[in-house]
Amino acid sequence: MTARDSHVNTVAIPPATVVEDVRPQVDGGRFPIKRVVGEDVEVTAACYAHGHEVVAAAVRYRGPGETQWHECEMEPLGNDLWTGTFGVDRMGAWEYKVACWLDHLKAWRDGFARRVDPEDIRLNARIGAQLVARAAERCGTDTCAKLEPWARILREDDDVERLRATALDETLFQLARENAPRDGLYETQALRITVDRERARFSTWYELFPRSASPQAGVHGSFEDVDERLDEIAGMGFDILYLPPIHPIGRDKRKGKNNSVVAQADDVGSPWAIGAKEGGHTAIHPHLGTHADFRHLLMATRARGMEIALDIAFQCAPDHPWVTEHPEWFRKRPDGSIQYAENPPKKYQDIYPLDFETPHWKSLWEALRDVFLFWIKEGVQVFRVDNPHTKPFAFWEWVIAEIKRDHPEVLFLSEAFTRPHVMHRLAKAGFTQSYTYFTWRGSKHELTAYFTELAKSRSREYFRPNCWPNTPDILPYHLQNASPAMFRIRLVLAATLAASYGIYGPAFELGENRPFKPDSEEYLDSEKYQLRHWDRSNPESLAPLITRVNAFRKQHPALQGDWSLVFHATDNDALLAYSKQSGDDRVLVVVNLDPNVAQAGFVYVDEAALGLDPGAAYTVTDAITGAHFTWYGSRNFVRLEPWRAPAHVFSLR
């Protein structure tokens, strides 16, 4: 539909129309929905009036900084449901609402077209003349020049055929409707949209510890060492390089290897124990480099079509400058000592949480906002936020709104592996993307149910999933002591089920599978507590597969969104089949979920969902092996050997 600037309307009578069940909206408009630049917003609503009154409806909308509303006419779907669509063409805060009014002109013309008695036609022509005259009174000079003669003919002419032809003139009718008073008008409250750049919807993340980037084992890495790896990471198809905290690491109560309470002299500590005499959340660990070195790395990353995501962890090491400068920001125990972080039985003696219930909360909030603003000024536009679920929702809603008001390009990833309602509330509060439960979903039933929820439920309006098969904190049980086949399976699933996914870089790429102990999801020799030297020349590296899959993602718009996901039936529960599409681009994926045994069976393709003619032949081309197959109709046979290729990632032609 074509959008147009709407005119100011004077309501002549009290609202006589009803608008209900406007979709999309989140919690009755309490929170905004989310879109990216270039996407459409399709709005539906129930719009009606009493009796047999004819109504019209429109979606009204305006973009960032606009005071005037634009609108697009809504079309009836039947049963009092209406739909209208408008596009969003720039980042920032948008608004939309639905208006409904009595369409007296349409009711008159529809009735006029059915009339046959000459006197009846003449009488109703006079009624139409009155309606057209009301519209002519409200329009500009040029429009009036067209409508007034029309009204005069309807009012004065007695020739039935001329009256009929004049009354049914479509161009004049539409002109009059556009200017007619909107009697019985009702407008909903304004609903909000947060419009982000495209990377909010489609992104590919690679997590790397800069301190482990040195080519020499046992030597602390630097930003310069990360720079040397950029071509390799970009070549694998990643567009976001995520760095854990780059700040000075506390020395007081520093943790040793494998989270040991007593650190040795050469232990480097956890990057999440932020702050030391060198500074806090706006300082850089001296072994990594300077702020100038970091800015150089940012520019080098952008030159390769990537950007850096910086970890924000709002917590402090015992020797963080804030501990002495702002003791009021920390919670004290009865003995006067500061309470360290705990998640029983886990204890984090090297980390002091901030007290968001302090009477000095306002100065704390402003200081934390200023941390974001500092790094934005340095050039960072993406933040991965550590454990946001342990801070108040009101803080996140405030600080993200503060940032995005002046910096709508900034993206926030919520690292919150917690209860569903908490994860969703954080997304509503403004986080651009969210970690998911994919990390632990393994069976066909679990994956189908979970991703159907993500792609099809109303939560998709605000919750954008970012799927990670592993993190530095989580070596899930199905990856512990697992074969390379399991890592390949999880890679394909993450990269094709979700438009945004990430891997904890070298550890996943090289199949790191050793747990600290059998009942733990911690890694043995975790990179969180020590330097690691990764042998990227390992022939078992997943780098070639990662490169092929990521290249396929970039070539196929179907994989750059989440909402088109459709699961297809198979006769083997070890085989998972699903598709995505965008326009004419169609992708079909079949995954063997068993890393140890070749699995075979029939895939029952939902031809209608893919826009295929029933029973027709079509060619499928596998991105992983390059093989071509001709499939016929809905029922087709597959056999997948996990040690060779655990999945088919098909493009359809």
Positions marked active-site: 386, 415
- How would you write 275-307 as a 3-class SS string? CECCECCCCCCCCCCCHHHHHHHHHHHHHCCCE
Q: Which is nearest to 182 in space by CA: 83, 76, 104?
A: 104
Tell me the angle at which helices 160-167 and 141-156 cross, rounded to the nearest 10 degrees: 150
Tokens of 486: 């399991």
From residue 636, give the alpha-carbon distance in Å to each of 4, 571, 622, 632: 49, 11, 15, 7
**622: Cα within 13 Å, side-chain hemisphere:** 18
Beta-carbon count within 10 A of 452 CB: 14
> For residue 529, what are the contacts with CB-CB under 8 A and spacing of at least 6?
255, 256, 257, 258, 259, 260, 267, 268, 269, 270
From residue 433, give the alpha-carbon distance in Å to each of 194, 383, 428, 430, 462: 13, 10, 10, 9, 9
CA–CA separation, 452 vs 454, rounded Å?
A: 5
> What single letter denotes the amino acid at residue 64?
P
- Contact in structure between 526 and 471 (CB atoms under 8 Å): no
- Contact in structure between 514 and 524 (CB atoms under 8 Å): yes
Length of the chain: 653
CA–CA separation, 312 vs 245, rounded Å?
A: 7
Q: Bin 263: left if φ > 0, else alpha if -120 < ψ < 50, else beta.
A: beta
User: Which helix (H) or strand (E) element contains residue 316?
Assistant: strand 315-316
CA–CA separation, 27 vs 41, rounded Å?
A: 17
- Nearest 5°: the CA angle 499, 504, 509 is 95
